[in-house]
Amino acid sequence: MSAFSRFTPLVQSLPATVPFVGPEAIERQRGRQIAARIGANESGFGPADSVLLAIQRAAGETWKYADPENYDLRHALAAHLGASPAHIAVGEGIDGLLGQIVRLVVEQGTPVVTSLGGYPTFNYHVAGHGGRLVTVPFVDDREDLDGLLAAVRREAAPLVYFANPDNPMGSWWPAERVIEFAAALPETTLLILDEAYCETAPLEALPSIESLIDRPNVIRTRTFSKAYGLAGARVGYALTTPGTAQAFDKIRNHFGMNRIGVAAAIAALSDQQYLKDVTQRIAASRDRIAGIARDSGLLPLSSATNFVAVDCGRDAVYARAVVDRLMSDHGVFVRMPGVSPLNRCIRISTGPDAEMELLGAALPAVLRSLTGG
């Protein structure tokens, strides 16, 4: 294939990949519709009715760009979190913010520390900016805070990424350990504390806002994609000191926010009753997935997120076969971790009863077909 010859050497060296093959691409590849979309950690419960109304109202205004200062959303977030708007930067989902943070810190060859098997989109951005990933294995299916700290010190790394709760295993560290970890980092190392799943996590997993808000080298990232049910709206935010938050203004796409998405996020924040209800439904669905897994002789790992990692008890080849057969034979879309030993597991997102029924029927059938039982 011929391509323009004057792309940068970095771009020329990169593979043309995306971190995740999307469910729509999987449908096209398999020539089969997805019946249960429980693989991408979206929320099949959807957003609140009040949010859908706000989206309808905003639709007629979509000829207007969104406010480039994101004034209303930042003020609504500040009121919700007990911070000031200056502490908040808004972006196109956490994924967009991760790209911006990497751009702020990473140059060619910069060492960047993360967990082996941690969130792949972060790695994608690091590679895209020429950084050198330094990975630390999970220990007992949890991110290894001591290992991450040791790697930061050894490499004098200016950037470290840690998700709490984490994807893909759904595990979490208590707030005190997270705060200790942040305090132990050199001031010249920026911590991305990715809290994509904060709404579904136990309170003990979440450092208070005050505990980290004065640290210029800590950015907490959060999203409306998970519990709020707005993955397609692409709204996320970063919480940090006003000085660090301002750095985003130097590089961000000022008209990058989707006006309808911003309206949806503001409405979602003001419907905390829905959030309360939906997080209960997510927790019940986690229990249901765990029960379905156990009934099939598999081991569900405990989870603080909107998904459950299920240990299939064998190797990655077997787990891959389970994932493939769920999709090809039953239209049940799930995913699995990318590296050993995490990839003995499959990862199933929570969802409404209809999806859980399909999973409950498909999983035992797939296991029987694979083991000849």
Ligand X SMILES: Cc1ncc(COP(=O)(O)O)c(C=O)c1O
Site membership for ligand X, residue 236 (CB under 6 A): yes
Q: Write each residue from 145 to 184 as x if it is in contact with ligand X (CB under 6 A), else as -, in one continuous string.
A: ------------------x---x-----------------
Q: What are phi and psi of 126, to 5 degrees?
A: -60, -45
Tokens matching residue 371: 């083991």
Q: Which of 88-96, 287-295, 308-316, 343-351 is the region at the interface with ligand X (rule: CB under 6 A)?
A: 88-96
The token duo for 118 is 């941690």
Closest CA to 228 of 260, 162, 276, 175: 276
Rg for the chain, CA atoms, rounded = 21
Other CB atoms within a 10 A radius of the CB of residue 46 amount to: 15
Name the residue nearer to ligand X (CB basis): 35 or 231.
231
Length reported for the chain: 373
CB of 234 to ligand X, least distance (A): 7
- Selected from 39, 85, 93, 111, the binder of ligand X by CB under 6 A is 93
Among 88, 169, 178, 196, binds ligand X (CB under 6 A): 196
Cβ closest to ligand X, residue 105 vs residue 198: 198
What is the x/- site pattern for ligand X, positions 293-332, by CB under 6 A? ----------------------------------------
Through-space distance between the first and last CA atoms of the chain, rounded to whole angstroms: 47
Kindly determine how many residues on this chain lie close enough to bind ligand X according to the rule CB under 6 A.
13
Nearer to ligand X, 41 or 189 (CB): 41
For ligand X, the closer CB: 333 or 367: 333
Stretch that binds ligand X, among 87-95, 238-246, 270-278, 313-321 (CB under 6 A): 87-95
Where are the alpha helices (H) located in the chain, listed in sequence order? Answer: 9-13, 23-30, 49-59, 71-81, 93-105, 120-128, 145-155, 175-184, 209-213, 242-251, 259-269, 272-295, 316-330, 353-371
In single-letter form, the type of residue at position 230 comes to L
Residues numbered 207 to 226 that lie near ligand X (CB under 6 A) are 223, 225
Q: Which residue has the tokens 């994101």?
A: 70
Query: 353: which residues sit within 8 A by CB, 6+ positions away?
Result: none
Smallest distance from ligand X to CB 61, Å? 23
Which range touches ligand X (CB under 6 A), out of 21-29, 91-99, 329-337, 339-347? Answer: 91-99
Query: One symbol per residue from 105 to 144: x for binding ligand X (CB under 6 A), - otherwise; what is it?
Result: --------------x-------------------------
Peptide bond into 165 cis (omega under 30): yes
Q: State the residue number with the nearest CB to ligand X.
A: 93
Question: What are the residue ranges of helices labelled H in 68-156?
Answer: 71-81, 93-105, 120-128, 145-155
Minimal distance in Å, beta carbon 222 to ligand X?
A: 8
Residues that bind ligand X (CB under 6 A): 41, 93-95, 119, 163, 167, 194, 196, 223, 225, 231, 236
